[in-house]
Amino acid sequence: MDVAIIGAGASGLMAAAAAAGAGADVIVYERNRIPGKKLLISGKGRCNITNDSPVVDIVEAFGPGGRFLYSAMSDFGPEELQALLLSLGVECKVERGKRVFPMSDSAADVQNALYRHATNQGARFAFGRQITGLAVADGKVKGVIDSGGNNSWADAVIIATGGISYPGTGSTGDGYRIAAEAGHTIVQPLPALVPMETVEDWPGSVAGLSLRNVELSLYDRGRRIGREFGEMLFTHFGVSGPIVLSLSRAVCRSLRESEAIESGRFTLSIDLKPALDEATLHRRIQRDLVAASKKQLKNSLGMLLPHSIIPVVISLAQVDETIPANQITTAQRSALVETLKRMPLTVLKTRPIEEAIVTSGGIALREVDPRTLESKLLPGLYFCGEVLDIDAPTGGYNLQAAFSTGRLAGMSAAMSRRSG
């Protein structure tokens, strides 16, 4: 056997197809009984495959670490990925924010296509097989060792094990342990793209309510450091949803500085009506109150807001919900407008890393060659996907990085086998 791949997730499947397509004898070891288990739940089961943006914009979304991805994405970016999927029978569509999904809205279609592609190229899969270490000799990787202590020889090994989020899908940190034993530095794995708990408990009263087309701002000690437009969700512990997850990255980074978030440091402000300026919103509320002049305030805002959140808005505005609509004063209307445009929440903490969509941290990039994804410390060892210290906001960026790095690692491993 020439190339051994540890993990059959998004990056591992792409690495397997690339390496086998380049002529290598490839075997993929996967601790689960099926491939792409995490891929199946991505995008709420719809699979946000990539973002239909120029490579430079995608790289920028990863922040300072994005430069590491230039080689991988220049050769295999969003355009090439969508073309490959189309050739495999998966037609794609572009939605708001340039998010790309399969036309079928089924992550299973993507999973099946990539698995078939890898097997058609000649890659073999060993399911239910957990790899716990590397076989090393003469300063070079020589294969892998499974949980039973059995050695399987290989000329090159690719670690594609993912991070430690959603451990039920098989992402349990195996790759970090294996890499650390090989001498690699592991940047502390922390949650990224994760729901946030709030100090306030009122979100629990509207748990399950999803708001679309709202604007959410994140403040650090009163200074706005992020703003997202889109969909959010209230939960029994606080808030979740795409725009919450994107903003959570800044909160998660603070955990590298301290073990806990400073009380009151991070706050959120929800603009429930971003399409309306304050003057227009004043007039809109006044019109609704006139139309419902004989009703109590709590029964007068149904045309403006979802029913379940009306009591919360009225309470935060400190207005009596039983007051007749035709008795609302200008000051009270102003208080309602203020709440609708700047609904406040205080971040208590992020949810556990097990609930994160993506892991922040991983294999230190300075120890990996970005042109090949080969380890600079141990020849013959390669990395791809979430196991690397790269992460970006929601929108398809992270999966694109997994596919791009998987392909580059697979091609590099196959070529090194030839040259070796």
Q: What is the CATH number of domain 278-343?
A: 1.10.8
Q: What is the pLDDT averaged over residues 85-107?
A: 97
Give 170's pLDDT tier (boundaries 50, 70, 90). low
Q: What is the rounded CA–CA span in Å between residue 267 and residue 259?
A: 18
- pLDDT score of 261: 80
Edge-to-edge, what's the strand order for the sheet holding 26-30? 124-127, 26-30, 3-6, 156-159, 381-383
Is the predicted pLDDT of residue 293 greater than 90, yes or no? no
Q: Is-contact 30 123, C-beta < 8 A?
A: no
| Mean pLDDT over each residue of the chain, to the nearest integer | 94
- pLDDT score of 339: 98
Is the predicted pLDDT of residue 249 greater than 80, yes or no? yes
Q: What is the pLDDT averaged over residues 87-93?
A: 98
Question: pLDDT over 70 for what percent of the chain?
Answer: 98
Give 165's pLDDT tier (boundaries 50, 70, 90). confident
Q: What is the pLDDT averaged over residues 389-401?
A: 95
pLDDT in tens, 107-155: 999 999 999 999 999 999 999 999 999 999 999 999 999 999 999 999 9
- pLDDT score of 258: 66
Is the predicted pLDDT of residue 85 greater than 90, yes or no? yes
pLDDT in tens, 49-73: 999 999 999 999 999 999 999 999 9
Where in the sequence of the chain do the CATH 1.10.8 domains occur? 278-343
- pLDDT score of 234: 98
Q: What is the pLDDT averaged over residues 274-278?
A: 97
Is the predicted pLDDT of residue 407 greater than 70, yes or no? yes
Give 1's pLDDT tier (boundaries 50, 70, 90). low
Give 44's pLDDT tier (boundaries 50, 70, 90). confident
- pLDDT score of 268: 98
Q: What is the pLDDT averaged over residues 203-224?
A: 97
Q: Which class is 3-190+359-419 in CATH? A: alpha beta
Is the predicted pLDDT of residue 417 greater than 60, yes or no? no
Is the predicted pLDDT of residue 419 greater than 90, yes or no? no
Q: What is the pLDDT averaged over residues 87-105?
A: 97
Q: What is the rounded CA–CA span in Å between residue 366 and residue 357?
A: 24
Q: What is the pLDDT averaged over residues 266-271?
A: 98
Q: What is the pLDDT averaged over residues 243-265?
A: 84
Phi, psi (rounded to 5 degrees) for 38:
-70, -30
Q: What is the 3-state secondary structure (H, E, C) of 136-184?
A: EECCEEEEEEECCCCEEECCEEEECCCCCCCHHHCCCCHHHHHHHHCCC
Around Cβ 353, how many Cβ atoms within 10 Å?
Answer: 22
- pLDDT score of 257: 64
Where in the sequence of the chain do the CATH 3.50.50.60 domains occur? 3-190+359-419
